[in-house]
Amino acid sequence: MKRFRYRFQRILEVKEGVENLRRAELAEVISVINKEKAQLEFVNRVKQKHMSSDRGKKALRFNVELLRTGANYSLMLQRNIEEQKEQIQKIESVVEDKRKSLLEAEKERRVYGKLKDREQKLYLKEQKKEERKQLDQVGERIHHQKFRIPKDEMEGTVLYDGIN
């Protein structure tokens, strides 16, 4: 009997490779966005600390240069926060594109996987049919041999059932 051979096996392997590649790309972009979000949280915490430090007892003393420096620092932190938010939005759009790409690759791989399953079931069905055919032929041969061998010669064989 022939072994099962899927005619699109190479294509299926390529599709699986593409899917794995796209999954890795998505994971890479997700790790980048997580780093950017962590950076945003850090800048927000720095801004919070800066804003809360201005409200202490030292705030009662007015030093124009110190106030200007603090205001400039606050503006810089706010710009950094806005830039970080924009960067995160850009990366989120890339993540969405990568997700769509991965879903498309999974869909293509599933098509060839289902086709392989269908062909394998058909192959097994044909194998069972061929096996039944061979068993029928063996049974038929045994039956015909019974009638060819005289009864007294058959009594000593395994094929003798005692009826004839």
Confidence of residue 102 (pLDDT cuts 50, 70, 90): very high
CA 35 – CA 32 distance, rounded (Å): 5
The CB-based long-range contact list for 33-41 (8 Å cut-off, 24+ gap) reads 33/88, 33/91, 33/92, 33/95, 36/84, 36/87, 36/88, 36/91, 37/88, 39/84, 40/81, 40/84, 40/85, 40/88
Query: In the CATH scheme, what is the code of domain 9-115?
Result: 1.10.287
To the nearest whole percent, how much of the chain has pLDDT over 70? 83
Among residues 48, 110, 117, 35, the alpha carbon closest in space to that of 78 is found at 48
- What is the pTM for the complete model shown? 0.67
Q: Mean pLDDT over all residues of the chain?
A: 86
Confidence of residue 25 (pLDDT cuts 50, 70, 90): very high
Among residues 108, 105, 86, the alpha carbon closest in space to that of 97 is found at 105
Handedness of CA 59, 62, 66, 69 (dihedral sign): positive
pLDDT over 70 (residue 156): no
Q: Report pLDDT for 151.
A: 58
CA 164 – CA 160 distance, rounded (Å): 8
pLDDT over 90 (residue 139): no
pLDDT over 80 (residue 97): yes
